[in-house]
Amino acid sequence: MKCALVTGGSRGIGRAICIKLAAMDYYVLVNYKANEEEAEKTMSLLREKGGNGELLKFDVGNKEQVTQVLGEWIEKNTENNIDVLVNNAGVKDDVLLMWMKDEQWDSVINTSLNGFFYVTKLVLQNMLMQKYGRIINIVSLSGLKGLPGQTNYSAAKGGVIAATKALAQEVGRRNITVNAIAPGFIKTDMTEGLDEKQLRSLIPVSRFGEPEEVAHAVGFFASAESAYITGEVLSVNGGMYS
């Protein structure tokens, strides 16, 4: 059974990625932190399209939860390896640095950067033994160019970008690729408070992206055909920045 784990898979980009990987015949492990209703909806949509999978509830930024829940799944499924890992979980808490509270910095860094470390380290062990794997990190335009009010988010995503490039060099000999996808403005819960009409002037294609457009890029990196591409960051931002 081909398995794929998507962190933060209950909504938005994560949901679209889960559905895409299910369409590619992966058994999808849909991780979520708290919103069980939305996670169940993702699973229903996935199954409606002929896919299958299961829910895994844990906070990626909590090492104990990752070890307990994900570690237990890996131990119980020795014949079902996770071939594809999509580190998608992330949170935003925007404010200028001069007014940023310690907890606003910590929560954003912990989810995106520490979460990447905790989950990837655990999943990587079997990939190394199997000599195959696809690790895909969902980062952000903010991590490439920096955005005002997002010093914490830019630092977290920028850190994952650097980690992507470093890890790709560590595991390439084992037929494991590590790439990142940097979305720009995508129509999700994270951007619903933004004025799309006002921001269109900044985007060469003059619109926000769809979650499915990010998921399509994930599908490419998850495929066997992308074996000679690693350590790359693919921008999905309508031409805003590369």
Provide the pLDDT for residue 50: 87
239: left (phi over 0), alpha (psi -120 to 50) or beta: left
HSE at residue 50, side-chain half, CA atoms within 13 A, is: 4
Q: Is residue 46 part of a domain?
A: yes
C-alpha pair distances (Å), 234 with each of 22, 64, 179, 228: 22, 32, 8, 15
Provide the pLDDT for residue 203: 83
Q: Is residue 152 part of a domain?
A: yes
Provide the pLDDT for residue 150: 93
Q: Is residue 241 part of a domain?
A: no
Report the CATH number that the domain containing residue 223 is assigned in CATH: 3.40.50.720
Provide the pLDDT for residue 170: 98
Provide the pLDDT for residue 194: 65
* Angle, CA of 93, 98 and 100, to the nearest 5°: 30
Measured distance CA(119)–CA(195) in Å, rounded: 34
HSE at residue 129, side-chain half, CA atoms within 13 A, is: 10
When divided into structural domains, the chain yields a total of: 1
Structural domain for 128, as ranges? 3-236
- Judge contact between 122 and 66, C-beta under 8 A: yes
Active site residues: 153
Q: Is residue 242 part of a domain?
A: no
Please give the single-letter amino acid code of residue 127: M
| pLDDT tens profile 198-209 | 778 888 888 888
Q: List, for the chain, all residue ranges whose pLDDT scores fall below the cut of 70.
A: 190-196, 242
Provide the pLDDT for residue 201: 80
Q: Is residue 146 part of a domain?
A: yes
CA quadruple 137, 183, 240, 230: dihedral, nearest 10:
30
| pLDDT tens profile 100-139 | 999 999 999 999 999 999 999 999 999 999 999 999 999 9
Please give the single-letter amino acid code of residue 56: L
